[in-house]
């Protein structure tokens, strides 16, 4: 996605790419720090209140003011003194902070165009909420996500993943520019309005190369018909692009619209923070109580338990056991849902039930060859099985389907590059991984250690252990689903050289 870059002193900040460079070398700054710096350099010389800055770095989340203080202190340390020996960021007591340096706004960094796939390629842009009620925003988002899922299950299409499509939410851009960014030919765009038990949907399919509108239609239906409308839109698009209908197996649809709304809202909260994960848990539990036959609610509740274990440091065994049980339930309800299948496959791999895991991954890809998260997750499992080249191919495919992915993709790619002995590439990749920086530091430290950059490696280890004080290499090796002794030893060797606890 294109956007402005900001130069100050020896630094260049590229908010779109999520990078900060010092003399063309990457600076290891975290996601929150980047967001704060973006807000400050975007308004140089102005005083930004603490509330404004907290909203920039923690949107929609209640956090302690001390978190802001810590992040600003870390930013100052990373940036060092300005040319005149002062600070880039000054404190305005009891009010906020101000960026004091001179800023030069640069044009967007040129992005290498992505080649068009051999099959018809499409991105579904976030539908605009035309309701007067901002609470209906999640309804429009849910409609968009469902259409992406429905289209991606059609094997004759190449469909961009949700994460990349939603990078354009609320942004006014030329359709040709978006299509070039994503490497697709066709875009579906539209709007939704939900009120008084009815739903109005406008949708249009655009050929971004010619600018021609291939199909457009307006729907005015009872709200209870929303899923029938989704099916109709999907079939019209498939017919327009492929020339004939190729209906995939039917999906499990919710029978309760409140359960649907809760699920849409919850899946945005799962991987943000422990607090939002708990909110998601309550929403999904409520959704299941309202609609016990709703497979996606079980799938996302399983994912929530997985996140609580992997990223939020909660007990492993209890969360993994519950997640596996929920994932099995989701697949039992809807065996045709690829998302449910890959979640189950991943959990089975961590249980070391590899034969069943491999079968579930294969079925997930058969059901939905465009599900980027399946390919990214399968990359992780393949690398730990010693199939490194295969894992690299999977993560490359995931990035192509999802050009603006969640940051855990960078962790997965960096891990694969380390396993392949591509340490320089791994360092570059892992320094782009912001959201899960704590998790990725162990692989970053190992990559630096293998390059002989031991001071940098030990600095990363120190930061990693702040968030993971009980980490030991031995315990990590027993919890990860390794199938190849040589690959395991390669990781352990890097951890030891970096100074991670045995």
User: End-to-end alpha-carbon separation of the chain, Å?
Assistant: 42
What pLDDT was estimated at residue 406?
A: 83
Q: Give strand ranges (E) for 346-466.
A: none
Quick check: 226 pLDDT over 50? yes
> Do residues 410 and 399 lie in contact, with contact meaning Cβ atoms separated by under 8 Å?
no
> Starting at the edge strand that comes first in sequence, how are the strands of the sheet with 5-8 ordered?
25-26, 19-22, 11-14, 5-8, 104-106
pLDDT digits (tens, 9 = 90+) for 295-345: 999 999 999 888 766 655 556 666 788 999 999 999 999 999 999 999 999
In this prediction the pTM is 0.77
Q: Is residue 174's pLDDT more than 60?
A: yes
CA distance to 37, 51, 240, 379, 409, per residue, from 110 (Å): 22, 34, 33, 28, 22
Q: What are phi and psi of 424, to 5 degrees?
A: -60, -45
Domains of the chain: 5-106 (1.10.10.10), 121-242 (3.40.50.10610), 401-502 (1.25.40.10)
pLDDT digits (tens, 9 = 90+) for 408-429: 899 999 999 999 999 999 998 8
What is the Cα–Cα distance from 290 to 256, expressed in whole angstroms?
7
Give the pLDDT score at 155. 86
Cβ partners under 8 Å of residue 355, min gap 6: none
Provide the pLDDT confidence category of residue 66 given band limits of 50, 70 and 90. confident
Instruction: Give the Cα separation of 113 and 379 in Å (integer).
Output: 24
SS3 content of the chain, % helix, strand, coil (to 5): 55, 15, 35
CA–CA gap between residue 318 and residue 337 (Å, rounded): 25
Predicted local distance difference test score (pLDDT) of residue 171: 74
Is residue 248 exposed (0-12), middle (13-18) or buried (19+ Cβ within 10 Å)? middle
Nearest-10 Cα torsion for 98, 101, 102, 104: -80
> Residues 382-395: pLDDT tens digits?
999 999 999 999 99
Single out the residue of 329, 298, 322 nearest to residue 308, CA to CA: 322
| Averaged pLDDT score across all residues of the chain | 88
Among 128-132, 356-360, 373-377, 429-433, which stretch is predicted with the lowest mean pLDDT?
429-433
Q: In the beta sheet, which residues pair with residue 5?
A: 106
Which residues does 272 contact at the CB level (< 8 Å), separation at least 6? 61
Q: Render pLDDT for 245-293 as a digit per residue (tens, 0 to 9).
A: 566 777 889 999 999 999 999 988 887 667 778 888 999 999 999 999 9
Say if CB 120 and CB 186 are below 8 A apart. yes
* Contact partners, residue 50, CB within 8 Å, separation at least 6: 65, 68, 95, 96, 97
Q: Are strands 104-106 and 89-92 parallel, antiparallel or unpaired?
A: unpaired
CA torsion through residues 338, 271, 476, 386, sign:
positive
Report CA-CA distances (Å) from 285 to 239, 282, 399: 38, 5, 32
- Give the burial string for 463-496 (b: 16+ CB within 10 Å, else e): bbbeebeeeebeebeeeebbeeeebeebbbebbe
pLDDT, tens digit, 9 for 90 and up, residues 16-38:
766 788 887 777 777 788 889 99
């Amino acid at each position: 996605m294109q956007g402005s870059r900001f130069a100050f002193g020896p630094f260049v900040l590229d908010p779109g790419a999520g990078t900060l460079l010092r003399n063309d070398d990457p600076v290891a700054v975290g996601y929150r720090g980047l967001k704060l710096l973006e807000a400050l350099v975007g308004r140089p010389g102005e005083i930004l209140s603490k509330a404004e800055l907290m909203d920039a770095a923690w949107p929609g989340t209640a956090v302690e003011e001390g978190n802001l203080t810590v992040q600003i202190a870390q930013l100052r340390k990373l940036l060092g003194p300005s040319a005149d020996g002062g600070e880039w960021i000054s404190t305005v007591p009891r009010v906020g902070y101000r960026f004091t340096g001179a800023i030069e706004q640069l044009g967007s960094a040129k992005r290498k165009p992505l080649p068009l796939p051999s099959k018809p390629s499409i991105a579904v842009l976030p539908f605009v909420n035309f309701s007067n009620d901002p609470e209906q925003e999640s309804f429009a988002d849910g409609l968009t996500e469902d259409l992406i899922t429905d289209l991606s299950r059609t094997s004759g299409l190449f469909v961009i993943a949700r994460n990349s499509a939603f990078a354009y939410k609320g942004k006014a851009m030329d359709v040709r520019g978006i299509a070039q960014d994503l490497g697709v030919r066709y875009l579906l765009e539209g709007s939704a309005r939900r009120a008084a038990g009815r739903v109005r949907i406008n949708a249009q399919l655009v050929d971004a190369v010619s600018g021609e509108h291939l199909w457009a239609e307006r729907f005015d239906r009872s709200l209870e018909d929303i899923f029938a409308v989704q099916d109709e839109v999907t079939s019209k698009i498939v017919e327009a692009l492929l020339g004939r209908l190729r209906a995939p197996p039917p999906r499990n649809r919710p029978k309760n619209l409140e359960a649907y709304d809760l699920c849409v809202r919850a899946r945005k909260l799962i991987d943000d923070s422990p607090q939002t994960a708990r909110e998601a848990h309550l929403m999904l539990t409520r959704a299941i109580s309202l609609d016990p036959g709703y497979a996606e609610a079980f799938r996302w509740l399983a994912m929530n338990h997985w996140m609580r274990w992997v990223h939020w440091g909660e007990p492993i065994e209890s969360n993994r056991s519950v997640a596996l049980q929920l994932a099995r339930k989701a697949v039992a309800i809807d065996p045709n849902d690829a998302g449910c299948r890959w979640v189950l496959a991943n959990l089975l791999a961590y249980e070391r039930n590899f034969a069943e895991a491999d079968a579930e991954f294969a079925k997930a890809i058969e059901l939905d060859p465009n599900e980027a998260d399946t390919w990214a997750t399968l990359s992780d499992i393949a690398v730990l099985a010693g199939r490194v080249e295969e894992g690299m191919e999977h993560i490359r495919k995931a990035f192509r389907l999802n050009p603006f992915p969640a940051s855990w993709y960078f962790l997965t790619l960096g891990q694969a590059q380390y396993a392949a002995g591509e340490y320089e590439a791994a360092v570059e990749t892992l320094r782009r991984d912001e959201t899960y920086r704590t998790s990725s530091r162990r692989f970053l430290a190992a990559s630096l250690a293998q390059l002989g950059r031991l001071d940098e490696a030990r600095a990363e280890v120190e930061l990693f252990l702040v968030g993971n004080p009980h980490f030991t290499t031995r315990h990590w090796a027993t919890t990860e689903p390794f199938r190849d002794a040589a690959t395991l030893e390669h990781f352990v060797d890097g951890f030891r050289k970096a100074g991670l606890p045995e």
